[in-house]
Amino acid sequence: MQVVSVPPSEGIDEQLDGRLVRRRVMQVVALLAVLGLIAWLAPGLGEVRARLQGAQPGWLVLAVALEALSCLSYVLMFAPVFCRHMSWRTSYELGMSELAVGSLLPASGAGGLALGAWALRRDGMAPEDIARRSVVFFVLKSAANFAAVTVLGVLMFAGVGPALSPLLTILPAALAVATIAGVALLPLAAPRAAKLGERGGRWETVAKGVVALESGIREAGRILRRREWRVIAGSLGFWAFDNAVLWACFQAFGESPWCCWAT
């Protein structure tokens, strides 16, 4: 496919090769199906199958539905970050491909973002734009997690909800606040990193990374300030539905998520 010279924010939808993305999605789906058959039929996994047979099917179906909503939340925030003019179809194909790869290569979503970066780079988006927008997406996707840990940790430490150890309430909340503060202050390190990059060698690579992080964090702040509803709803939905999946799975086996943590 011939790539024309157009700004990524205006022409990326036309540049993406939908057939290639669909082929990658089908490959991932086929691999997941094979893994499912292995888990179901392979010898030595009898205990797992026996455990699944004891689950309540209704709760498992609900868990699958909630996971689908989580995936759609991810897709919802994809286009506003990478290209506001991207069609829903392209956003769906790329977002679901990233999620599929992230499931196979668990690394806090880095594996999926790498696939998305490869697809966008192959079809014309500048590496600097990909790096910045990937930082934006990761920051905004993770924001709901850190905010929730902070709020829930403080509330549970204050006595709201089940009684848990401070190690599981106020300590995670404090670490989340420290992480948020560190991310917010990172742009202040960009000028110093740029000076170090002038030395060349590995310092230049470090400087480029810091500059990409700095520009991505600033862009994430701009998106939040303009109250892009798809980004906010997608981030909150991705967090909420993922946690709801865990809750439904606990219910399927007649357990409580607090049974192992209550003091």
CA dihedral 178, 181, 185, 187 (to 10 degrees): 100
Residues 236, 182: Cα–Cα separation, whole Å: 22
CA 107 to chain centroid, in Å, comes to 10
Q: Look up residue 28 and give its amino acid.
A: V
Q: Can you give the C-alpha Rg of the chain in angstroms?
A: 21
Residue 237 confidence (pLDDT):
93
Put simply, whether the predicted model's pTM sits higher than 0.75 gets the answer no
Is pLDDT at 147 greater than 80 in this prediction?
A: yes
State the average pLDDT over residues 230-257: 88
Quote the CA–CA distance of 36 and 45 in Å, as a whole number.
Answer: 12
What does pLDDT average to over the chain? 75
Q: Encode 133-172: b = buried (16+ Cβ within 10 Å), e = exposed.
A: bbbbbbbbbbbbbbbbbbebbbebbeeeeeebeeeebbeb
